[in-house]
């Protein structure tokens, strides 16, 4: 298999936009191509993530639409849908297309538009990622899924609502340093703890926002990367799945797909969790970050809450998690999220993250979770 | 005769039939004829042993809450019901089901609380619920 590198990244402002998801993707992709100093004509394929386009924009076939709006209508284009992990899944398949020798230059990205519909509707559309017969009928929501995880984690390990709130406080603090973030405002523990309950025990500030946005990156073979200014190498990209139904998951305090994807990624790269300097992980809810830091092996099972509370995952801590502000503060345009996380880690490894730079970061990890914890992707990146 | 050609639709418990029976108050799981693994429908192959032969098995509907939440911000179609409780319930037989919790005060919800299945209809569709044991 050939080595693969990221040589260009682009991310739109996250927040509310009056443009279509295809336009948002196109802006990010053009920025990524410019960053890579790569002519669009050399792109051989587009791997694209978009989740609820059918619902919020009444738009299917979003892959070729995105390619057309970007101005590369003739490249082979495929849209991936693995709920919130869609563009990370797209990334993994693009890595394989290049590693296999099929292509040398591939564009990866995603975009989402959700703030054009009322919250009750977006809540319903996001719930489509849970089982239609068993779960949607009950009125299960996305926060509800992670509320079940939170309650199980609290029961098993004694994790507290204050520890979950500490994740939100930390990610908001990081978000202040990210000009692309949806929220650039520090909050206190009290802000979180006194915010309205959404799905007990998760409160409004335990939840990431609905977000419009796009992200893209240029992925190339080693031969092409050698001629670029500052390639960041893909050390591993792994995926894992788990039971779809909440009822079929044996232990709700864990996300086994995270553990399996992480184990596979560490094996591919020949490194372990303690070789990683910076992490962008899927904090769709505060409890999700806690469980992910455990599943990725950064902390022992049950210690994720303490790690957040003690500041071990803050910028300047032993392993900075979500220096971008994470989904919580940067925002979560679901189809774009995986690609945006990769863009952040690439920026960090280039040493170009400005005030949120993790000093001397050499290796980074991205973790993206799909919907009801049934999909997880983990990728590892390095300067060398 | 190959395993696959004998194995089709052995349990008879399709998703539609499961919920039709649930509506009448009966929960029917499926048990792998090959290894005895218990599951909820629909499943084609046994995730434990790979066999394709299932038999229906009645479930007691008795269990305990493994985790729970109270949905306060509901999807469009359920907005009128909020707040409502949803729990993952581990049944005595070892399988777990997600369901609404009804007739239990929200503040009485707890991990380990014994509950019993009862059918409900949500927006004209049969669904799983649990009430006091
Ligand atoms: Zn079996």
Q: Tell me, what CATH number does B101's domain have?
A: 2.40.50
**Whether A120 and B76 lie within 8 Å, measured CB to CB:** yes
**Whether A135 and B95 lie within 8 Å, measured CB to CB:** no
Q: What is the largest CA-CA distance in chain B?
A: 57
Residue of B nearest to A145 (CA): B69
Q: Does B45 touch chain A (CB under 8 A)?
A: no
Residues B50 and B77 in one domain: no
Query: Of B58, B74, B101, which residue constitutes the final position of a domain?
Result: B58
Residues B20 and B68 in one domain: no
Cβ-count burial of A349 within 10 angstroms (0-12 exposed, 13-18 middle, 19+ buried)? Answer: buried
Q: Count up the domains in chain B and report the number.
A: 2
Q: Choose the CATH number for A137-209+236-382 among 3.40.50.920, 3.30.420.40, 3.40.47.10, 2.40.340.10.
A: 3.40.47.10
Per-position pLDDT tens, chain A of length 384: 899 999 999 999 999 999 999 999 999 999 999 999 999 999 999 999 999 999 999 999 999 999 999 999 999 999 999 999 999 999 999 999 999 999 999 999 999 999 999 998 998 999 999 999 999 999 999 999 999 999 999 999 999 999 999 999 999 999 999 999 999 999 999 999 999 999 999 999 999 999 999 999 999 999 999 999 999 999 999 999 999 999 999 999 999 999 999 999 999 999 999 999 999 999 999 999 999 999 999 999 999 999 999 999 999 999 999 999 999 999 999 999 999 999 999 999 999 999 999 999 999 999 999 989 999 999 999 998
Residue with tokens 């004998």: B6
Pairing verdict, β A232-241 and B114-122: unpaired
Task: Report the half-sphere exposure of A103 (CA within 13 A, side-chain side).
Answer: 22
Q: Choose the CATH number for A4-117+211-232 among 3.40.50.620, 1.10.1380.10, 3.30.565.10, 3.40.47.10.
A: 3.40.47.10
Q: Does B102 touch chain A (CB under 8 A)?
A: no
Residues B77 and B93 in one domain: yes
Residue ranges making up the domain that contains B44: 3-58
Which active-site residues of A does the annotation give? 84, 332
Residues B52 and B67 in one domain: no
**Whether A199 and B72 lie within 8 Å, measured CB to CB:** yes
Residue B9: pLDDT band with limits 50, 70, 90? low
Q: State how far residue B61 is from chain A, nearest Cα, in angstroms.
A: 14
Which residues in chain B have their CB less than 8 angstroms from residue A128's CB? none
> What's the pLDDT at B6?
47
Residues B68 and B128 in one domain: yes
Strand ranges across the sheet with A105-112: A77-80, A45-49, A105-112, A213-221, A4-11, A232-241, A375-382, A363-370, A278-280
CA of A241 to the centre of ligand 1 (A): 20
Whether the per-residue pLDDT at B5 is higher than 90: the answer is no
Helix (H) or strand (E) holding B55: strand B54-59
Whether the per-residue pLDDT at B2 is higher than 70: the answer is no
Which residues in chain B have their CB less than 8 angstroms from residue A147's CB? 69
CA of A302 to the centre of ligand 1 (A): 33
Residues B72 and B126 in one domain: yes
Residues B32 and B86 in one domain: no
ipTM of the complex: 0.94
Identity of the residue in A134, A143, A197 whose CB atom sits nearest the CB atom of B98: A134
Residue B8: pLDDT band with limits 50, 70, 90? low
Q: How far is CA A336 from CA A74, A90, A104, A354, in A?
A: 22, 10, 23, 22
């Amino acid at each position: 298999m050939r080595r693969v590198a990221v040589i260009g990244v682009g991310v739109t402002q996250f927040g509310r936009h009056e443009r279509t998801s295809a336009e948002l993707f196109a802006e990010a992709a053009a920025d990524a191509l410019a960053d890579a100093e790569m002519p669009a004509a050399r792109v051989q394929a587009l791997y694209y993530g978009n989740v609820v386009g059918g619902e919020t924009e009444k738009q299917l076939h979003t892959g070729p639409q995105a390619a057309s709006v970007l101005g590369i209508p003739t490249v082979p284009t495929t849209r991936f849908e693995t709920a919130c992990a869609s563009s990370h899944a797209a990334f993994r398949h693009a890595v394989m297309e290049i590693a296999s020798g099929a292509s040398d230059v591939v564009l990866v990205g995603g975009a989402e538009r959700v703030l054009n519909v009322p919250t009750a509707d977006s809540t319903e559309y996001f719930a489509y990622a849970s089982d239609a017969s068993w779960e949607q009928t009950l009125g299960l929501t996305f926060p509800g899924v992670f509320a079940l995880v939170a309650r199980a984690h609290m029961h098993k390990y004694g994790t507290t609502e204050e520890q979950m709130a500490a994740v939100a406080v930390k990610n908001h603090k990081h978000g202040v340093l990210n000009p692309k973030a949806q929220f650039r405002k520090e909050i206190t523990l009290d802000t979180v703890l006194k915010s309205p309950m959404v799905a007990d025990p998760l409160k409004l500030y335990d939840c990431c926002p609905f977000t419009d946005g796009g992200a893209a990156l240029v992925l190339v073979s080693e031969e092409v990367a050698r001629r670029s200014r500052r390639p960041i190498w893909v050390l591993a990209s792994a995926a894992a799945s788990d039971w779809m139904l909440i009822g079929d998951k044996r232990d709700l305090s864990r996300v086994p797909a995270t553990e399996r994807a992480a184990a596979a990624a560490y094996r591919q790269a020949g490194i372990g969790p303690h070789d990683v300097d910076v992490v962008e992980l899927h904090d769709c809810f505060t409890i999700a970050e806690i469980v992910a830091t455990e599943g990725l092996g950064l902390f022992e099972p049950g210690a994720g809450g303490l790690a957040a509370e003690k500041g071990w995952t803050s910028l300047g801590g032993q392993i900075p998690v979500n220096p971008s502000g994470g989904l919580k503060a940067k925002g979560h345009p679901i189809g774009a999220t995986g690609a945006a996380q990769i863009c952040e880690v690439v920026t960090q490894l280039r040493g170009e993250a400005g005030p949120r730079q993790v000093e001397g970061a050499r290796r980074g990890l991205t973790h993206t979770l799909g919907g009801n914890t049934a999909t997880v992707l983990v990728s590892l990146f390095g300067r060398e | 005769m190959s395993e696959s050609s004998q194995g089709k639709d052995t349990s008879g418990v399709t998703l539609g039939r499961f919920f039709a029976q649930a509506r009448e108050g009966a929960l029917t799981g499926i048990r792998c004829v090959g290894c005895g693994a218990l599951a909820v429908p629909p499943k084609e192959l046994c995730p434990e042993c790979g066999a394709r032969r299932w038999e229906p098995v009645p479930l007691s509907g008795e269990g305990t809450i493994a985790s729970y939440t109270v949905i306060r911000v509901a999807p469009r179609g359920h907005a009128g019901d909020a707040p409502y409780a949803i729990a993952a319930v581990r049944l005595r037989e070892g399988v777990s089901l997600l369901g609404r919790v009804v007739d239990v005060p929200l503040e009485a919800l707890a991990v380990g609380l014994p509950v019993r299945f009862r059918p409900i209809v949500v927006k004209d569709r049969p669904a799983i619920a649990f009430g006091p044991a």
